[in-house]
Structure 1
Amino acid sequence: MNYKVILGLAVVGFLMIIVASIKQMQSDIARINANLNKIAKQVGVEDTITDQLKGLLLEGKRIEAVKKYRIATGAGLVEAKEYIDSLKEQEIKNI
């Protein structure tokens, strides 16, 4: 086999491993956030940022919600967009 083909297959395999790891981390983060929200409710901590983000989504201000989430959490752009999208999906299910 040609070394370029072998190298290409190795790169593709490596990228697949990275993508799988990222998806697992995203799943873990979602689970951790859900647990933290449950704990916060039991302790009586108000979740004002989520209420503000939901309000912005209801007003159609998705980009502003992403910015606000990034400022509040220090999250990256992709993570913030995914979180805001998940909030929007939750709101749609609750309607």
Structure 2
Amino acid sequence: MDTMGLLVVVGLLVAGCAALETRLSRVDRRIARVERRLDVLLSHLGVPDQDQDPDLERVRDLVRADRRVEAIKAYREATGAGLREAKEAVDRLG
């Protein structure tokens, strides 16, 4: 009976983790959508980009040269961002 109880607990934990991951994924998509809208709004209002860091200019150059993997790596080095955040930022630049 102890094994069965353990399996039930493990099953519940797995289901809970899957539900949490799904919710986080939705939140990430919503945040990305809000960031895109904010970028458009700031651009429309003529507000200068606050990310005029020389390291980020290198990232933009790599994106323009279609060297996305290198751009992601450079973004991570410049900002300390995680892989997913860096990929999304580079995607927004390209």
Q: Percent identity?
A: 28
1:58 counterpart residue number = 64
Deviation, 1:11, is 1.4
Normalising by the residue count of structure 1, what TM-score does the alignment of the two structures yield? 0.65
1:81 counterpart residue number = 87
- Quote the Cα distance in structure 2 between the aligned partners of 1:68 and 1:43: 29
In structure 2, stretches of 5+ residues that fail to align are none
In structure 1, stretches of 5+ residues that fail to align are none
Equivalent residue letter for 1:13:
A
Aligned residues: 87
Q: 1:1-95 to 2 correspondence within 5 Å? A: 2-47=4-49, 53-70=59-76, 71-72=78-79, 74-84=80-90, 86-87=91-92, 91=94
Q: Which has the higher contact order (CA 8 A, sep 6+)?
A: 2
Deviation, 1:52, is 5.5
The 4+ residue runs of structure 1 with deviation greater than 4 A are: 48-52
Deviation, 1:69, is 3.1
Deviation, 1:21, is 1.9
- Quote the Cα distance in structure 2 between the aligned partners of 1:41 and 1:76: 26
Deviation, 1:4, is 1.9
Instruction: Call closer, same or farther: CA 1:29–1:69 in 2, change over 3 Å.
Output: farther
